[in-house]
Chain A
């Protein structure tokens, strides 16, 4: 019994560690350990949205050893007097996948309350805009009185600090809160009652910690070839489709891309798995690009012009042309291009359904053109329905 329990625990630990190492390579933890401040990384894709990393500064602020929080949901820091509205605000920010700062009453391991400025921000997969992690920086907020007192005491406070807290020294504004750990315990429950307002200095500190974390994650994510960023799709500059639209489009098994009609040069905003396997490109390579990367020296210019004419007149067209894969090989492409309208009836996208004609496919007896038009129809329905309920794009940050 015990050994199987231990195995399960070890398994869980490996799972949590993999959440980091898979995205940012095995060395990222060391780099994060070097950073000062109390912060966490959580993985929204894992059941229970657990904490997958806790910084070295966390124990000093919260009283929790780092291992004790791994695998748990970050709500463990909340308690009886934590403001529900503040929690609701956080939940909404996580749902909407945007950054959020709030002053909140947290609880240490020993049950004592303390005010922190919590800065939460999503970490995006640069290529497809998926959220890989959330980071949460906790900056203690001191009462005005404590701040004055600490200012007088100056560096003396640091002498009393345990090692975990000392890394905070490297950051600006750190002078006050290292001592706060002890101050608040003395006056447990007294200062907790008064809501505190974070100072500009606290906010700056939270932001600068967050940006150091982002730059570390970004640097190490490049080692795995995945690349993360703090702003969604910053690298390609295209709007991110909502997860419901991504899900609906993902159910359509055919080879197609969706291009945004209103962005300059009509970039690709969605590419199906079948399209990637047909052309040999990866999603990261083509999102944000115009469809012309498929063409080559033997692609008919007349046909391309015909497509353009139809796009300009908001008409659908079916053409046959020679297109090129990433490896330079060509394929006879049966291509359907159709304008796709959103719920206000305006053309918002174009869908491009590709079919390699030489790949002898049996569509259970259906003509290939009709088979492709089925995908066009399904894309129309998905875009129209989700647009009607206002969930075409991800909420703006």
Chain B
């Protein structure tokens, strides 16, 4: 019999329609709920933000939307949903602080995010699982939770349409919806081709779409994140998360070391570095001749990880110019009983935001006593061991057609930022099932 690794955790409620999912399932022809399913979405009219085909090209038309339009649209729509009372709590009423220290971890006390929910069993040893229409998915979300569609306009300029029919021709709308349990102000979900019922699994197109969203926001403080199954994704329906917080994340401040690439692997112009002096080992991908090049390289890496059952998290930073990739093993350690009770008691799920240094705490005491050392202790548990990381890195390089040059040119390629942090000993021996 196959062994199954599971953990129990409180699922995050991302939609007001999540609670009653499964119950009262009824056939609906225009089901009357004005949802995002096949029944309602094709006959609805949602606002459309059409992004430009090439974000690195300057706008050509004078009447193109200004660069701050996207953020204004997103925050305006979000604030509007707040006045409608669609959120489970007012996140701006949750205490937050930057923890003193070199990296500046950001802590938030959120006592309400997981209230009133029973822990649910999550399978953590399968990064890819088939889409299950019976479980909650985003087609069941009400349209009032949707802020706008996010489509490729194909032109040189971005534009906005107040309402546009979703015609059968472009039947695969990407939508941006609120997360009713926001981690920060402006927390949204990008759901690529919502009607196509894609499971949580990165492919080149969906990743490129996420990069486009970061580029349209044009702010270093608007970041997107992705959690694979087994790395604290709650819902097996393809989605990215995003929010706006005008504080640099610790991972963005951490030192990096450039990995020299052999000539053959330089075509894309993508530069790869390794995080240094950070509790979670990770790779940093940046630049690239075009957004497509960066999407190609990073999505190949993600595909390898998910195909080989390595849970991972992705942070899209710096307006889509810089990507952090973290293979992780916390949930698996948790399932195997290797995480200390003290850490488990905090109920912190180290997903992409936590790994990047924005940590949502659920207990007053943990918040009051939060320190750089306590954040470090938690995140160190998330990281692969050095040996396993190097092994995974080698596979990722193969998959992304990158060739590490073995001429170590430290003087030219090493990029050290001055972050002198003394890391506590990292628990070794993290095991990832193949």
List chain A positions with a Cβ less than 8 A from chain B: 248, 251, 253, 316, 318, 338, 340-341, 343-345, 364-367, 369-378, 380-382, 384-386, 388-390
Q: Do residues A378 and B71 form an inter-chain contact, with CB atoms below 8 A?
A: yes
Residues of A within 8 A of B68 (CB): 251, 253
State the Cβ distance, B21 to closest chain A Cβ, in Å.
Answer: 29
| 29 CB < 8 A contacts A-B | A318-B83, A338-B79, A341-B92, A341-B93, A344-B95, A345-B93, A345-B95, A365-B159, A366-B76, A373-B77, A373-B79, A374-B73, A374-B75, A374-B76, A377-B76, A380-B79, A380-B185, A381-B75, A381-B246, A382-B246, A384-B96, A385-B221, A385-B245, A385-B247, A388-B96, A388-B97, A388-B98, A389-B98, A390-B97
* B336 interface contact, C-beta 8 A: no
Q: Do residues A378 and B247 form an inter-chain contact, with CB atoms below 8 A?
A: no
Residues of A within 8 A of B244 (CB): 381
Choice from B106, B162, B185, B246 contacting A367 with Cβ under 8 Å:
B162
14 new A-B contacts, CB < 8 A, other than A344-B95, A367-B162, A376-B79, are A316-B83, A338-B79, A341-B93, A343-B95, A343-B97, A345-B93, A366-B160, A374-B72, A374-B73, A377-B76, A377-B78, A388-B96, A388-B97, A388-B98
Q: Do residues A388 and B106 form an inter-chain contact, with CB atoms below 8 A?
A: yes
* B387 interface contact, C-beta 8 A: no
Q: Do residues A364 and B65 form an inter-chain contact, with CB atoms below 8 A?
A: yes
Residues of A within 8 A of B75 (CB): 373-374, 376-378, 381
Residues of A within 8 A of B93 (CB): 341, 345
Residues of A within 8 A of B185 (CB): 377, 380-381, 384
* B419 interface contact, C-beta 8 A: no
- Complex CA gap A385/B80 in Å reads 21
State the Cβ distance, A381 to closest chain B Cβ, in Å.
Answer: 5
* Interface residues as binary, B47-91 with A (CB distance below 8 Å gives 1, 0 otherwise): 000000000000000000110110111111111100100000010
Chain B residue at minimum C-beta to C-beta distance from A387: B96
Residues of A within 8 A of B77 (CB): 370, 373
- Complex CA gap A367/B186 in Å reads 19
Residues of B within 8 A of A378 (CB): 71-72, 75
Residues of B within 8 A of A318 (CB): 83
Residues of B within 8 A of A374 (CB): 71-76, 79
Give B151-186 interface residues, CB cut-off 8 Å to A.
Answer: 159-162, 185-186
- Complex CA gap A4/B185 in Å reads 55
* B421 interface contact, C-beta 8 A: no
Residues of A within 8 A of B98 (CB): 388-390
- Complex CA gap A378/B246 in Å reads 10
Chain B residue at minimum C-beta to C-beta distance from A316: B83
- Complex CA gap A345/B159 in Å reads 36
* B133 interface contact, C-beta 8 A: no
* B394 interface contact, C-beta 8 A: no
State the Cβ distance, A274 to closest chain B Cβ, in Å.
Answer: 13
State the Cβ distance, A353 to closest chain B Cβ, in Å.
Answer: 10
Q: Do residues A365 and B80 form an inter-chain contact, with CB atoms below 8 A?
A: no
Choice from B65, B69, B94, B186 contacting A377 with Cβ under 8 Å:
B186
* Interface residues as binary, B103-117 with A (CB distance below 8 Å gives 1, 0 otherwise): 010100000000000
Choice from A341, A369, A375, A386 contacting B246 with Cβ under 8 Å:
A386
- Complex CA gap A119/B75 in Å reads 47
Chain A residue at minimum C-beta to C-beta distance from B82: A316
Choice from B80, B97, B245 contacting A370 with Cβ under 8 Å:
B80
State the Cβ distance, B190 to closest chain A Cβ, in Å.
Answer: 18
Choice from B65, B73, B83, B92 contacting A384 with Cβ under 8 Å:
B92
State the Cβ distance, B84 to closest chain A Cβ, in Å.
Answer: 11
Q: Do residues B71 and A366 form an inter-chain contact, with CB atoms below 8 A?
A: no
Chain B residue at minimum C-beta to C-beta distance from A370: B76
Chain B residue at minimum C-beta to C-beta distance from A338: B79
- Complex CA gap A344/B93 in Å reads 7
Residues of B within 8 A of A365 (CB): 159-162
Q: Do residues A372 and B246 form an inter-chain contact, with CB atoms below 8 A?
A: no
Q: Do residues A373 and B76 form an inter-chain contact, with CB atoms below 8 A?
A: yes
Residues of A within 8 A of B92 (CB): 340-341, 345, 380, 384
Residues of A within 8 A of B69 (CB): 364, 366
State the Cβ distance, B52 to closest chain A Cβ, in Å.
Answer: 14
Q: Do residues B246 and A371 form an inter-chain contact, with CB atoms below 8 A?
A: no
Chain A residue at minimum C-beta to C-beta distance from B63: A364
| 7 A-B pairs with least C-beta separation | A377-B75, A374-B76, A374-B72, A373-B79, A385-B246, A370-B76, A373-B76
- Complex CA gap A382/B71 in Å reads 13
Chain B residue at minimum C-beta to C-beta distance from A342: B92
Q: Do residues B247 and A389 form an inter-chain contact, with CB atoms below 8 A?
A: yes
Chain B residue at minimum C-beta to C-beta distance from A368: B76
Residues of A within 8 A of B221 (CB): 381, 385
Q: Do residues A248 and B72 form an inter-chain contact, with CB atoms below 8 A?
A: no
State the Cβ distance, A314 to closest chain B Cβ, in Å.
Answer: 10
- Complex CA gap A344/B90 in Å reads 13
- Complex CA gap A248/B93 in Å reads 21
- Complex CA gap A149/B251 in Å reads 64
Residues of A within 8 A of B76 (CB): 366, 370-377
- Complex CA gap A367/B79 in Å reads 13
State the Cβ distance, B93 to closest chain A Cβ, in Å.
Answer: 4
